[in-house]
A and B are shown apart, each in its own frame.
Chain A
Amino acid sequence: MLRYLIPLAVFIILVIFLAIGLKNDPRYVPSPLIGKPAPDFSLPRLFTPSTTFGPKSLRGKVWILNAWTSDCVGCRQEHPYLLALSKNKLINLIGLDYRDSNTLAIALLKEHGNPYQVVVTDQDGSVGIDYGVYAVPETFIIDKKGIIRFKYIGPLFPDEINKTILPLIKKLNEEVG
């Protein structure tokens, strides 16, 4: 009896591992930046390129950095939800226009609405590299001390926003800066 049960047990364990493997998303790479200070930058603003903006001016605030481009499908998908999110007074949403054309980016925001408080342009992608951006859209949540607390890869849908983003922002806002 045992000689039949052992292969069966091994088979079942294998199936369990494979089933877990099927659910894993190979595109998801855990960020080593969680818990680390958000890399500093000073980038030109999209609408007023002569002025720059950097994370230093956001010290003491909880903020969201959303990396996007005008030609990315996932960014279009999450765009209406970001617009809805930006109505929330607790949200400081900063856009990182990653390796994009300024004209196209401005045109898109004018046509579909601008959810961002500030949009900065990362023309050569160097800030994207510092934040480990590899597939737009990517979203980071940074706490009052300037530490990256959360990263989400892919378009943000209401499910994720309501389940993770909003509770986390509420919690981070209660922390002392």
Chain B
Amino acid sequence: MIINQLTLFWTKLFRAKLFVVACLFLFSLVSLSQAGIEVRNFSNSAQERRYHQLVDEIRCLVCQNQNLADSNSQLAQDLRNKIYDKVKANQTNQQVIDYMVERYGQFVLYNPPFDLVTSFIWIGPFILVIAAIILLVITIVSRSKATPVELSEADHTRYRKLLDNEDKNT
């Protein structure tokens, strides 16, 4: 009986594991096909590194929450080809980024530069954290300074009486 149950348990576990492995395998296929990266030939590894860095950093405007590397859209493919040509032509990263920003605006950059418009986004959270700490310190200090209310003898007896009544009622 026990042995039967044990074998049943192990077969179930095995099946579950098989299922998980199968799922993982299928998911890996999906992510592979989604990457949609063409086969590229570079003359040196520095160029290859720069190419991957750039397609990771630049947003696909058709599917706005994907970068060029992840997107399968026609425009993303065209822009990947453009970046490939430019990297092969030994243009600097900044030249490629400028090219994209000239056409699509700063929105194409996943890593927006620090300027007057974006400064609020960059500094804002730190200002909020500092403000919260200051508020916390002020509250703690003012609470520790507050003098506890002194109770008179009459108050004490009154509260004692009230509490005693409470005890009796329950």
Contact indicator A29/B105 (Cβ below 8 Å): yes
Assembled-state Cα–Cα distance A135/B76 (Å): 12
**Chain B interface residue number, banded:** 10 to 19
Known: A99-B74, A128-B75. 6 other contacts (CB 8 A): A32-B103, A32-B104, A130-B103, A132-B104, A134-B61, A134-B104
Contact for A131 among B64, B74, B103, B107, CB less than 8 A:
B103
Contact indicator A134/B62 (Cβ below 8 Å): yes
Residues in chain A within 8 A of chain B (CB atoms): 26-27, 29-33, 99, 124-126, 128-132, 134-135
Chain A residues lying within 8 Å of B75, measured Cβ to Cβ, are: 125, 128-129, 134
Assembled-state Cα–Cα distance A32/B97 (Å): 14
Secondary structure dominating the interface of A: loop
Contact indicator B103/A29 (Cβ below 8 Å): no
List 15 interface pairs A-B (beta carbons < 8 Å), by A numbering: A26-B64, A29-B105, A31-B105, A32-B101, A32-B105, A33-B102, A33-B103, A126-B78, A129-B79, A129-B82, A131-B103, A132-B103, A132-B104, A132-B105, A135-B61
Nearest CB in chain A to that of B107: its residue: A29
Most B CB contacts (10 A, CB to CB) among A32, A33, A135 go to: A32
Chain B residues lying within 8 Å of A126, measured Cβ to Cβ, are: 78
Assembled-state Cα–Cα distance A34/B62 (Å): 20
Q: A29-B105, A32-B103, A32-B104 are in contact. Are A135 and B62 (CB under 8 A)?
A: yes
Nearest CB in chain A to that of B73: its residue: A134
Contact indicator A125/B78 (Cβ below 8 Å): yes
Chain A residues lying within 8 Å of B61, measured Cβ to Cβ, are: 29, 134-135
Nearest-Cβ distance from residue A157 to partner chain B, whole angstroms:
22
Chain B residues lying within 8 Å of A124, measured Cβ to Cβ, are: 78
Chain B residues lying within 8 Å of A99, measured Cβ to Cβ, are: 74
Assembled-state Cα–Cα distance A131/B82 (Å): 14
Chain A residues lying within 8 Å of B107, measured Cβ to Cβ, are: 29-30
Contact for A129 among B62, B103, B105, B106, CB less than 8 A:
B103
Contact indicator A30/B82 (Cβ below 8 Å): no
Nearest-Cβ distance from residue B105 to partner chain A, whole angstroms:
4
Nearest CB in chain B to that of A26: its residue: B64
Nearest CB in chain A to that of B61: its residue: A134
Assembled-state Cα–Cα distance A44/B79 (Å): 22
Assembled-state Cα–Cα distance A125/B62 (Å): 14
Chain A residues lying within 8 Å of B104, measured Cβ to Cβ, are: 29, 32, 132, 134
Assembled-state Cα–Cα distance A125/B81 (Å): 11
Assembled-state Cα–Cα distance A26/B61 (Å): 11
Chain B residues lying within 8 Å of A131, measured Cβ to Cβ, are: 103
A-B residue pairs, 4 tightest by C-beta: A134-B61, A132-B103, A32-B105, A125-B78
Chain B residues lying within 8 Å of A31, measured Cβ to Cβ, are: 105
